[in-house]
């Protein structure tokens, strides 16, 4: 982990269980309504997720269903090397399966291949493969 991690290195970036929400903000936006919507989203979605994942073991378990690489990193930090190895292997297998299904979409296949290479490289640097 770098001294000051980039956004892409942050585990919270892996919050895949949140609904994808976008709010339009322009000169005609109703700021009171926008503030109310943001507050509700925080109270009903973000805060409960943060509360239930504020401890690394809980976050690691949650991440297993949304980002196996992040879950493996969390397990490694927790000293659970065997579980990190398992998650890396499952993550690579999932990506390889996804790659097979994208054979008619070269751009997607290239992105997935990049993810596989990145995961393999990270795992190799941490002696997980």
Average pLDDT, the chain: 86
> How many domains does the chain divide into?
1
The reply to whether 5 falls in a domain is: no
The answer to whether residue 72 is domain-embedded is yes
Whether 84 is covered by a domain: the verdict is: yes
- Asked if residue 108 is part of any domain, the answer here is yes
For residue 118, being part of any structural domain is answered with: yes
Number of other residues whose CB lies within 10 A of the CB of residue 127: 10
Would you say residue 113 lies in a domain? yes
Closest CA to 89 of 118, 123, 55, 66: 123
- pLDDT attached to residue 127: 95
- Whether residue 66 lies inside any domain: the answer is yes
Q: What is the DSSP letter of 14?
A: G
Tens-place pLDDT, residues 41-86: 889 988 998 899 999 999 999 999 888 999 999 999 999 999 999 9
pLDDT in tens, 99-126: 988 878 888 889 999 999 999 999 999 9
Does the pTM surpass 0.85? The reply is no
Q: What is the largest CA-CA distance in the chain?
A: 54
Q: What is the mean pLDDT of residues 26-49?
A: 90
Answer yes or no: is 6 within a domain.
no
Which domain covers residue 85, as residue numbers?
56-125
Quick check: 79 and 51 in contact, CB under 8 A? no
């Amino acid at each position: 982990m770098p001294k000051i991690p980039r956004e892409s290195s942050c585990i919270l970036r892996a919050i895949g269980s949140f609904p994808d929400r976008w709010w339009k903000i322009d000169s005609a936006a109703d700021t009171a309504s926008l503030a109310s919507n943001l507050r509700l989203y925080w109270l009903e979605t973000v805060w409960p997720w943060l509360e239930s994942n504020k401890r690394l073991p809980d976050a690691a378990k949650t991440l297993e269903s949304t980002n196996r690489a992040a879950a493996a990193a969390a397990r490694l930090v927790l000293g659970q090397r065997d579980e990190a190895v398992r998650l890396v292997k499952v993550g690579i297998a999932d990506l390889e399966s996804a790659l097979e299904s994208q054979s008619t979409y070269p751009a997607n296949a290239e992105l997935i291949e990049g993810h596989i290479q990145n995961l393999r490289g990270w795992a190799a640097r941490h002696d997980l493969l």
